[in-house]
Structure 1
Amino acid sequence: MSLTRIIGRMFVPRQKELERHISGGADLQRQVLEHLVGTAKDTEYGRNHLFGATRSYEDFARNVPVNTYEELKGDIDRMRHGERDVLWPGRVKWYAKSSGTTNDKSKFIPVSPDGLHDTHYRGGLDCVALYLRNNPHSRMFDGKGLILGGSHSPNYNLPGSLVGDLSAILIENINPLVNMVRVPKKQTALLSDFEVKRDRIARETIGKNVTNLSGVPSWMLSVLSRVMELSGKRHLEEVWPGIEVFFHGGVAFTPYRSQYEQLITSPGMHYMETYNASEGFFGLQDDPADKSMLLMLDYGVFYEFIPMDEFGSDNPTVVPLWGVETGRNYAMLISTTCGLWRYVLGDTVSFTQTNPYKFIITGRTKCFINAFGEELIVDNAERALAYACDETGAEVTEYTAAPVFMDGRGKCRHQWLIEFARQPDDDGRFARLLDKRLQELNSDYEAKRFKDITLQHLEVVRARTGLFNDWLRVKGKLGGQHKIPRLSNSRDIIDQLLRMNSTAAKHETTTNETI
């Protein structure tokens, strides 16, 4: 009998439990909130914010302020120095290093033992539970899982705390039994030099029976490219005949899908999106035919939402899960068993349905372009790029975009720096299609583009091969969970990239006929 069939029986009770998400989402979230405040009522934060007297969501919202990382940083720093019972009961040893804030190079997100098990690991287990439910003939446990992780950062350690990428923390603390079904070996998985790690992972796994992949699409693609170089094969299933699923997250999969489909041509290959971050595990694609994800409601995470048209105002509306509306763009707040309270996560989501609560990630609260009132978000960008690629046969590897506030002729526009895996058949047509689709997707962008009065036709600049990886390398962010900022109101990032681009080769600019 297949080992997967045997192991799969262990997931049946949880598969049935997950049915509670269909109609009982609000009740699940109320139970989570009750657990959070009850457990943390004797912490310093709990005493200061009346957790012991909290009897309802309304009490909680009245007594606890909305927090950014900067507002919790002082408490987190004390925890990193070994203080107990500050934001969460006991001592928190592990901290996930995440991208920085305005004031600091890095954020250090507490990862408590409770959060590790009731959120991060539960999300991983539910990912498997839902995949096996949808694919009853799977044989994923008859082989190994290639799990791509980050590294520890001992230079950031303080007495009483340890720091690393979240993926490295998960690998370090994982149940030893899981190591029987995963590759590469722990020492390789935790290497900090991504280029060395990439080569070692490829060499360690090339002779294994790898059936499933887990990781960020961009970094996994780099590892798989090395596997193909070493094997001399054309398609991945020639190296790993049993390959059947890629559990991916961290960045949108759309720009990478066609490259994966060319690399893995097996009709039995599946792709499942996950929504996990340093702060928690939040969503899973429970239906392969539906691109939206199921919000996971019975973990150690309580959710709240701020409508994006009010985000940043003095007194924005904040609603719990049972107050959201479909089709509206929200900034997400979380309270967690890691001690984050009404924390502004930085991600934006839009619900496609309720009961069950399903959503799509639309971008970041700080990752958009609104220099001219156009309100361009990452979801618009991804969909427009996919359209332009489909129409021109192009494939995008990486990209970023920012406004050009005024050029030498007093013209304003958006500038896109794009690294192509496959060049479009016609550069000008690609730019026109991208601009056209953005107008169809975003009425504010369309209005600002009207007759080129406010905003002129966008500009596309070709990036040389490897430019974005070189930029990450210079920043010390190559590998792990680091991502390219897609959209920005500032030109800081794109100007750095353009300077690096021009030192290697003269860049090509694609615009419409008027430029």
Structure 2
Amino acid sequence: MHVKSLLARPFAGFIYSKVKKEMASAVEDQKSIRQYLIKSAQHTVFGKDHGFDSIKTYEDFKNHIPVRDYEQLRPYVEKVKEGKQNILWKGQPLYFAKTSGTTSGAKYIPISKESISNHINTARNALLCYIAQTGKADFTGGKMIFLSGSPVLDRIGGVPSGRLSGIVNHHVPPYLRTNQLPKYETNCIEDWETKLDKIVEETSNKDMTLISGIPPWVQMYFDRLIEKHGKKVGEIFPNFSLMVYGGVNFEPYKQKLFESIGKKIDTIELFPASEGFFAFQDSQTEKGMLLNTNSGIFFEFIPADEYGKPGASRLSLEEVALEQNYALIISNNAGLWAYDIGDMVRFVSLNPYRIIVTGRTKHFISAFGEHVIGEEVDFAMQAAAAECGARITEFTVAPMVVQGEGKSYHEWLVEFENQPADLEKLALTIDNYLRKKNTYYDDLIAGGILQTLRITPVKKDGFINYMRSVGKLGGQNKLPRLSNDRKIADALNEFLI
């Protein structure tokens, strides 16, 4: 057994015990964090503007600090970008995490010296909880890869700025540097396909034990490996035993990924974002991810049916219920205050607090009042594909508005690995599953307001080519599963069969 595997076990036991204690104190920890955040930022420009010195209770907190998205917080961020201090948080940020916004262009999310540990330690804790629970530590002696963005950083207002995954790359512990692939120079390559070819070259003859990244881009890596070697990934890397993923729903990609690997391996799901590392899978047997309740982030939750409405409820952790969708709102020790991160979550356990991510608040279809969300289309597609013998590579859904009652419908643009002979049957099967999940959609179909959805096949590699055409191939970029307009659907016209 490798020496790192031996050393990892006692450390894993220590961290896992700490995590279990925090499970029991989650509500109290959240109250303490809220008070700490207000006290720490009392003398900042934001704190003075919002009367932090008079905030004593959670009701005060909600009354003084409205929910904001990035665009509404932008005036404060711009001051920080100019190099001004004590604006949103004490002093200046340690970094800006630069991320693409769907409506705000590039967003610059502050990371402070207090918040950086949240990003670094949570991924570590996920791996250590896995070791403590399963006793499997051999992967720590092999090579590990995270398919990430470039670690090259620019400076904005004197603050280093870049992709979150690139920033985190600078904080990989020294004891893991010798395990990490690809090389720093390879990670700095901006063009995704050039970078991917180099990663395949560097890793092909290595003892890869852990592979991590966003599922569609991991699949691209696997495809290139198989093309090069003519073997399954599990044959190329016989000791590959753990896959770590996040960013998108894993289920639509799961079957093809495991087929590419050629054997069953363990997986760990993470919920990281530029704004914070919110949750991680702490158990191989329980559903959902453990909410990170003691890591400098105060969480609030807006019920999905109230989201975007005046006077919408804001709930603290002790007020949430099981099996309800909530918009996730966060305040953190980098200066984000009642910040709408754009994700919907649902609690699958309250003891401890475990969540699943059910979609994006802005990625939905409600052109006709149906409010179909990502979780529902993923479920419908998976169930129907299994029933009809279809194999799906990727898909996205958009409304098709046609004049006249009963003529409009949802268009599902689908890239098939194995296309069934009867597309109409698949469409009807998907439609029936979606009607079971969403009563509003069911009412619109039953009432003749909408037609049954229609499937439009996309060429092989059509979605990859589309992402390339808009400059979002690879890294942390994700294809929206749902759109409330036809921008993506129309752009895919040149990639249709």
| CA apart distance, 1:374 | 1.4
Among the aligned pairs, what percent are the same residue?
35
Q: TM-score by structure 2 length? A: 0.95
Q: How many residues align?
A: 496
1: distance between equivalents of 2:416 and 2:387? 15
Q: Deviations over 1:440-481 (max 9, x none)?
A: 111111111115x11110001111112222222222111111
- Structure 2 counterpart of 1:239, from 233, 236, 240: 236
The answer as to whether partners of 1:329 and 1:349 remain within 8 angstroms in 2 is: yes
Write the mapping of 1:93-492 to structure 2, written as runs, cut at 5 A. Answer: 93-102=94-103, 104-117=104-117, 119-151=118-150, 157-233=155-231, 235-267=232-264, 269-406=265-402, 411-450=407-446, 453-492=448-487
Structure 2 unaligned residues grouped into runs of 5+: none
Secondary structure in structure 1 of the residue aligned to 2:392? strand
| CA apart distance, 1:43 | 1.8
| CA apart distance, 1:393 | 2.6
Give the letter for the 1:465 counterpart.
Answer: K
1: distance between equivalents of 2:256 and 2:79? 45
Which residue pairs with 2:47 in the alignment? 46
Give the letter for the 1:501 counterpart.
Answer: F
Q: Deviations over 1:199-252 (max 9, x none)?
A: 11111111111111111011111112212222232x112111111111100111
| CA apart distance, 1:128 | 0.7
Secondary structure in structure 1 of the residue aligned to 2:326? strand
2: distance between equivalents of 1:414 and 1:136? 47
| CA apart distance, 1:21 | 4.2
Q: Deviations over 1:30-88 (max 9, x none)?
A: 12212222222222212222334433322222221211111111111221222211111
The answer as to whether partners of 2:287 and 2:348 remain within 8 angstroms in 1 is: no
Relative to 1, partners in 2 of residues 1:99 and 1:66: Cα closer, same or farther, differing over 3 Å?
Answer: same
2: distance between equivalents of 1:256 and 1:486? 13
Relative to 1, partners in 2 of residues 1:174 and 1:82: Cα closer, same or farther, differing over 3 Å?
Answer: farther
1: distance between equivalents of 2:285 and 2:382? 18
1: distance between equivalents of 2:287 and 2:373? 18
2: distance between equivalents of 1:123 and 1:480? 20
Relative to 1, partners in 2 of residues 1:71 and 1:450: Cα closer, same or farther, differing over 3 Å?
Answer: same
| CA apart distance, 1:178 | 2.5
Give the letter for the 1:173 counterpart.
Answer: H
Give the letter for the 1:230 counterpart.
Answer: K
2: distance between equivalents of 1:356 and 1:425? 46
Compute the RMSD of aligned alpha carbons. Answer: 1.8
Indicate the larger mover: 11-20 or 156-165. 156-165
The answer as to whether partners of 1:381 and 1:438 remain within 8 angstroms in 2 is: yes
| CA apart distance, 1:407 | 5.7
Q: TM-score by structure 1 length? A: 0.92
2: distance between equivalents of 1:425 and 1:272? 36
Secondary structure in structure 1 of the residue aligned to 2:73? helix
Q: Deviations over 1:327-350 (max 9, x none)?
A: 221111000112110001100111
Structure 1 unaligned residues grouped into runs of 5+: 508-515
Indicate the larger mover: 193-202 or 306-315. 306-315
Which residue pairs with 1:56 in the alignment? 57
